[in-house]
Amino acid sequence: MKGGPSKAPHRSLLKADGLTDEEISRPLVAIVNSVNDVIPGHLMLDKIADAVKAGVYMAGGTPLEFATIGVCDGIAMNHAGMRYSLASREVIADSVEIAIQAHAFDAMVMIPNCDKVIPGMLMAAARLDIPTVVVSGGPMLAGKFQGKNVDLDTVFTAVGKVKAGEMSTGELLELENAACPTCGSCAGLFTANSMNCLTEAIGLGLPGNGTIPAVYSERIRLAKRAGMQVMDLFERGVTARQILNRDGIRNAMALDMAFGGSSNTVLHLTAIAHEADADITLDDWSEISAATPNLCRISPASDYHMEDLYAVGGVATIMRELDKKGIVAREAMTVTGQTFGEIVDGARDADGAVVRSIDNPYYPEGGLRILHGNLAMDGCVIKQSAVSAEMREHTGPARVFDCEEDAVEAIFGGRITSGDVVVIRYEGPRGGPGMREMLTPTSAISGMGLSTSVALITDGRFSGATKGPAIGHVSPEAAAGGTIALVNEGDSISINIDEGSITLDVAEDVLAERWASLVQPEPRVTTGYLARYARFVSSADKGAVLL
């Protein structure tokens, strides 16, 4: 792109950017940044980018920055904007691919934070296969309210408490002002922090990528090292797919099960693996869940937050415990130049509280569980680590809604009672379109004191902040003719997490009659990006990738 007489015009344009001949002669390193003024986790990414650039310069490269879009799931929650969240993942991946290929970069450092930006960038890394390091912006610190640690999920749950008369509007305002005290990705083990930790487990992020708080100076030092390390990868000819392979992905899946990450990670890791030609299925998730004990529970599954996991050693400490059971792929390569086994050998032992030992897990299986049955022939996902013991098996009457808003109205209106199974359909990748995240209904159920007696099932998906018996990613989705489209009000639904089953208790001949008379609703969106997305998106069990 820049060598020889024929590339004089190209060099002329680079000089218009202010680059000298010396800078042009060095490897060009893309700084892929998702900084913006909207998302709290992205506010400080300009500082991270400056530090990465310093590291690249110190190691002999020339950094050039470009931006991607991002969507804040919390701000987009419970309105039409949420349809764009998952769909933005594909735009991010495509935009990175376009900018890197069009300008012939030699290497890149990716700076994501928050939900779809991280997997979107990782999907692009798998496609492009050039030397790559990922350094996130880091997690937010927890807030303080009435002597307790709180986070964004606390606010969502508090709305239900106000509706139930258990909290005043004045207290809600006080909580609202305290829950998100710093920049960074929201303080619990929600999707953003889950994915930043999984990036570390894959090997594309330096140790500490997932847990060093956003406001700590250590995060700036980490960013400088990321800039230096990408130059080391370039010199050694180590590209993304040499790290982002089946071993790295399975390490990430094992970590996911050990700390009970967001159920969204099933979508994202499946999509990333697809881009890396290392395809995984829900059967792989079931296999790893069965073999991996749940060692760590971070908000919303406990009162611990990301800063607590950081303080006891972070991701490497969890993986050190898993390694004792032979779960870690020790020879997996990382961007540090060390194998993953070498990293865990140098990690701290579990503290026994934030991270339990391998011999004293919270639960002998992983934090996520895949369920199958006639209601989800291709599978669905539940975050079992956030489900109370009394709801691991439940049978109840279906309360059926064809959109999230109608369900929320019914919950806040007191029309959902103990024992019910709330079914929200036509919210899948195609039917939504965009597979909206539904923290509002799950938080409403929790805030109104129903999380130990009411289950929720959807072909949509949930925030990592969701707790309780919330089952998502039902595949096939309603818009694709899945059984969830045939559920009638009052039908009995049986859930058994321990057996991995989800059953619509309706005879097959009755379901066949319903299928013959089923009339699918008209698409909600018929123009623009979402209409195109709906035409090409695959099912949730395939990662909702575009085909």
Alpha carbon 241 to chain centroid, angstroms: 21
Q: Are 17 and 11 in contact (CB under 8 A)?
A: no
Bridge partner residues of 245 (DSSP): none
Give me the half-sphere count of Cα atoms (radius 13 Å) on the Cβ side of residue 459. 34
Describe the strand order of the beta sheet including 132-134 as a list of residue ranges.
Answer: 62-67, 28-33, 107-111, 132-134
Secondary structure E strands in 243-321: none
Torsion sign, CA atoms 193, 330, 287, 545 = positive
> What is the CB neighbour count within 10 angstroms for residue 241?
19
Active site residue 217: no
CB within 8 Å of 173: residues ≥ 6 apart: none
Give the torsion through C-alpha atoms of 334, 336, 337, 343, to 10 deg: -70
Residue 372: its H or E element:
strand 368-373
- Vertex 36 angle, CA 139 and 29, to 5°: 85
- Biggest alpha carbon–alpha carbon distance for the chain: 76
Beta strands (DSSP E) in 388-540 are 393-401, 421-424, 455-458, 470-475, 492-496, 501-504
Residue 246 sits at φ, ψ, to 5 deg, of -60, -40
Q: How far apart are CA 396 and CA 494, in angstroms?
A: 7
**Candidate list 263, 299, 463, 538, residue with the active-site label:** 463
Q: What is the Cα gyration radius of the chain?
A: 23
Active site residues: 463
